[in-house]
Amino acid sequence: KAGVTQTPRYLIKTRGQQVTLSCSPISGHRSVSWYQQTPGQGLQFLFEYFSETQRNKGNFPGRFSGRQFSNSRSEMNVSTLELGDSALYLCASSTGLRLGGETQYFGPGTRLLVL
Amino acid sequence: AQSVTQPDIHITVSEGASLELRCNYSYGATPYLFWYVQSPGQGLQLLLKYFSGDTLVQGIKGFEAEFKRSQSSFNLRKPSVHWSDAAEYFCAVGRGGSNYKLTFGKGTLLTVNP
C-alpha cells in the first residue's frame, strides 16, 4: 500500500497570505489528523477529520481550518499567515473506526516558511 | 490531561553501544503508547506501540520498549546502536481507543559517534 502523501513538500509565503496544504491518506483509511511541529512547541494536534466531518479540534485559532473530501483526502488552510505559523505540518491517517488500538501513520510533512 | 515527558533532550552514544531513551507519561486510564522516529526533514515513522498484553514490545530496526505501569514509563531500548539510528525520537500517548489525538513528548535527539 502507498503511504500517506502530502503536497506540497515546501512552501514559502509572506505574512498576511493564506495557504492550503493537502494530504492523501493510506487507501482505506477514513481518518486524517493534522499536527503542527515547531522547535519551540513541539508536535501539537490541530484537528481530525473523519468521513468529511471535523470530529475533533485542538487549541488553535480559527485561522486554521480544514476539510475532508469524499475520497478521504484532506486539506488544511491557514489564513492571514503570521511568522509564527512557520512550521512542519504533518498529517496522519488511520482507519478512524475507534475499535481500540488505532495506529496513526504519518506523511512526510509540508514545510511552511512565512516571511 | 495527558502528558508525556522525555527527560533527555540530547543523547550521544558510540556506534555499537547500547541505548535507552526514557519516556514517562501521565494518563488517567490505560494508555496506548507509541515510539516514533523522525529523520531530518522527514515525517514520523512508527517504531513500536503498546496497547495491552506483554509489557515488552518489539519494534522495527531492532528496537524494543518496556511498559512499566508502576513507574508510568515506556522506555525505548536497543542493544547495539548503528550510525543510521541517528535521528530524533518521540514518545507519544494516544487518547482512548481511537488514538486520533496523540500527545507527544518534546523528543530526544540521538547522535551516534563512529
pLDDT tens sequence across A26-47: 999 999 999 999 999 999 999 9
Reported as a single tens digit per residue, the pLDDT across B59-71 is: 999 999 999 999 9
- As a whole number, the mean pLDDT across chain A is 93
Give the HSE-up count for residue A43: Cα atoms under 13 Å, Cβ half-sphere: 30
Query: Would you place residue B32 in the very low, low, confident or very high pLDDT band (cuts 50, 70, 90)?
Result: confident
Task: Tell me how far apart the alpha carbons of residues A96 and B66 are, in angstroms, rounded to a whole number.
Answer: 27
Cross-strand partners of A92: A33, A106
From the list A104, A107, A111, which residue is nearest B102 (CB)?
A104
pLDDT tens column, B50-101: 988 889 999 999 999 999 999 999 999 999 999 999 999 999 998 765 556 7
Nearest to A48 among B51, B92, B101 (CB): B101
Cα–Cα dist B12/B113, whole Å: 7
Q: Residue A100's pLDDT band (boundaries 50, 70, 90)?
A: low
Residues forming beta bridges with residue A31, ordered by sequence position: A50, A94
Give the model's pLDDT for residue A36.
Answer: 97
Contacts of A55 in chain B (CB under 8 A): 100
Best of B99, B106, B108 to substitute, by most chain A Cβ atoms within 10 angstroms, is: B99
CB A3 within 8 A of CB A106: no
Q: Which residue carries 484532506 as its cell? A: A74
Number of cross-chain residue pairs from A and B with Cβ atoms under 8 Å apart: 75
Three-state SS sequence of chain A: CCCCEEECCEEEECCCCCEEEEEECCCCCCEEEEEEEECCCEEEEEEEEECCEEEEECCCCCCEEEEECCCCCEEEEECCCCHHHCEEEEEEEECCCCCCCCCCEECCCEEEEEC
Cβ atoms of residues A76 and A66 within 8 Å: yes
SS3 at position B40 = coil
**pLDDT bracket for residue A101 (50, 70, 90):** low
pLDDT band at A99 (very low <50, low <70, confident <90, very high): low
Please give the C-alpha separations between residue B50 and each of A21, A45, A109, B57, in angstroms, as whole numbers: 31, 21, 25, 7
Segment A57-74 shows an average pLDDT of 96
Residues 6+ apart with CB under 8 A from A61: none
